[in-house]
Amino acid sequence: MGAQIATLIIATSLIQLANGFFTTFISLRVGMEEFGPTMSGLVLSSYFAGFTLGALRCERIIERVGHIRAYAAFAGLVAAATVAMPLLIGPLPWLILRAVVGFGCAGLFTATESWLNAKAEPAKRGQVFSAYMFGTFAALALGQLFIARARIEAVTPFNAIAALFALALVIVTTTRAEPPRQSASTPLPFVHLFRAAPVAVVGCVVSGLLGATFYSLVPVWMQDEGIGRVTIAIFMLAAVLGGLVFQIPVGRLSDRFDRRHLLSLLSLSFAGIATVLVNLPHSRPVVLPAAALLGGFMSTLYPVCVANAHDRMPSDRVVAVSGKLILISGLGSVVGPLIGTSAMTLFGIDGLLYFMAAIAVLLTVFATGLGLIMPPPRHYKRTFQILTPQAAPLAHDLSDPTDEPSSP
């Protein structure tokens, strides 16, 4: 059992290694192709549109054909779309192909996480999930370092990315399959979720919007400014590592205080750092710590929002709440680069950073206002988990159904 779990984690780490590199690489490559601001934004957003669609549809595909066949289909789909991109250079083909990649990645993450959930013993699920998320963040960080040595204008990066997906496919398809445990999900209308946890809903939109805008557009701006690839790679690495380092301390604070107030503080801090960065010299000693702080504040918005939503919803809605929040975050991710490209075209990086800061301030005002009007929810005694949108289904299934609410 342990070997099978390790196999899945290794395969997923390879996928995240490819994905982390691909996200920054395609941002730089789109900038070189000069598609124009509108089409560039659409190409960069199409991945998130495909991912959101995949989050809605891939579960049925997995249930119909099984985990190994679905995993093979999704990995093959991503590899084929990646290899086709240098053969079909143009904004429309790349828009479609990036959407296909996003759809396939959503399927891969869903298949992997439900599979892990089935294999892990209940007493060890927390350890399994921690190892899974550590591998995810480490691979994403390592993927940024490859940017320093990549030839952005060449076909080689596309081939390397496809090879990593193919290698993950080989690893998973040669392991023994065990059908995951199926859990019933109670339908949840969006209006019910918004009424119960409005701050969580708005926060997930902002989290997706900020994350997609930052990781898609900041590398483009740095390249246009003549900043070296090594610096770009280190900057993005600092943002990813900042996101990892902030998880545990923010999680502990989230369990001790009203999550809405913490969300206000995180979003306001993000806005402050983004605003300060505009007015400081763009040198390594300045931008690298700023990148770590921006990544830290940005990456912790989503898990705090998810925890707030589950504080306010009954336990039989756990899976439904998770799915809705993933969808909401995905919609924010689609919109972010589209608006961000317009802001960056008009005002450069200053406009982009001010745009992200303004969105974060709006979240601060909204969360603070509702925090003063609505009473705080009752927290549940469950261990805080490092969380990203794609990992949400596994994380929430880790909660003990026998957990009892505690006093606020």
In a domain, 408, yes or no: no
12-31 mean pLDDT: 86
| Residue 405 within any structural domain of the chain | no
Stronger pLDDT, 278 or 126, i.e. the higher one: 278
Alpha carbon distance 15, 167 (integer Å): 9
Do both 172 and 196 map to the same domain?
no
- The predicted structure's pLDDT at residue 320: 66
What value does the mean pLDDT take over residues 150-165? 89
**Residue 374 confidence (pLDDT) above 90:** no
What DSSP string runs through 196-243? H-HHHHHHHHHHHHHHHHHHHHHHHHHHHTT--HHHHHHHHHHHHHHH
Q: What is the pTM of this model?
A: 0.74
Domain boundary among 182, 210, 229: 182
Same structural domain, 202 and 324: yes
Comparing CA positions, the residue from 32, 24, 25, 30 lying closest to residue 43 is 30
Give the pLDDT of residue 100: 94
Whether 194 and 116 share a structural domain = no
Highest mean predicted confidence (pLDDT) among 53-62, 134-143, 183-192, 194-203:
194-203
Q: Are residues 176 and 239 in the same domain?
A: no
Taking CA atoms, 192 is separated from 188, 208, 369, in Å, by 7, 21, 20
Domain CATH for 60: 1.20.1250.20
Share the mean pLDDT of the chain: 79
With 70 as the cut, is the pLDDT of residue 1 above it? no
Domain-located, residue 99: yes
Clarify whether residues 209 and 357 are in a common domain.
yes
In this structure, is residue 407 part of a structural domain? Answer: no
Q: Are residues 157 and 286 in the same domain?
A: no
Residues 191 and 166 in one domain: no
Residue 405 has pLDDT above 50, yes or no: no
Percent of all residues in the chain with a pLDDT value above 70, rounded to a whole number = 80
Structure tokens, 327? 């969808």
- Cβ burial of 163 (10 Å; 0-12, 13-18, 19+) is middle
pLDDT tens digits along 174-216: 776 555 555 545 567 778 878 888 988 999 899 989 988 888 8
Higher pLDDT, 236 or 389: 236
- Residue 226 reports pLDDT greater than 50: yes
In a domain? residue 403: no
Give me the pLDDT at residue 389, please. 58
- Classify residue 89 by burial, with Cβ atoms within 10 Å: 0-12, 13-18, 19+: exposed
The pLDDT of residue 187 is 65
Binned at pLDDT 50, 70 and 90, residue 96 comes out as very high
Q: What is the average pLDDT across 237-261?
A: 83
pLDDT: is 17 or 186 the higher one? 17
Least reliable range by pLDDT among 156-165, 247-256, 289-298? 247-256
Identify the domain boundary among 166, 182, 198.
182
Q: Tell me: pLDDT of 33 over 80.
A: yes
Q: Are residues 165 and 219 in the same domain?
A: no
176 shares a domain with 41 = yes
Question: Are 15 and 219 in contact, with CB atoms under 8 Å apart?
Answer: no
Whole-number Å distance between alpha carbons of 78 and 289: 34
Choosing from 182, 207, 226, the residue where a domain stops is 182
pLDDT digits (tens, 9 = 90+) for 74-87: 989 999 999 999 99
| Least confident residue range of 233-242, 269-278, 387-396 | 387-396
Residue 393 lies in a domain: yes
Asked if residue 330 has pLDDT above 60, the reply is yes
Same domain, 177 and 194: no
Look at residue 345 and tell me if it is in a domain.
Answer: yes
Supply the range of the domain harboring residue 337: 186-398
Domain membership flag for residue 406: no
Contact criterion met (CB below 8 Å) for 217 and 236: no
386 pLDDT tier (thresholds 50, 70, 90): low
Domain tally, the chain:
2
Give pLDDT, residue 403. Answer: 42
Q: What is the mean pLDDT of residues 307-322?
A: 69
**Residue 263 vs residue 347, higher pLDDT:** 263
Measured CA angle at 98 (ends 93, 101), to 5 deg: 130
146/201 same-domain check: no
* Pair 233, 167 in one domain: no
What was the pLDDT predicted at 399? 42
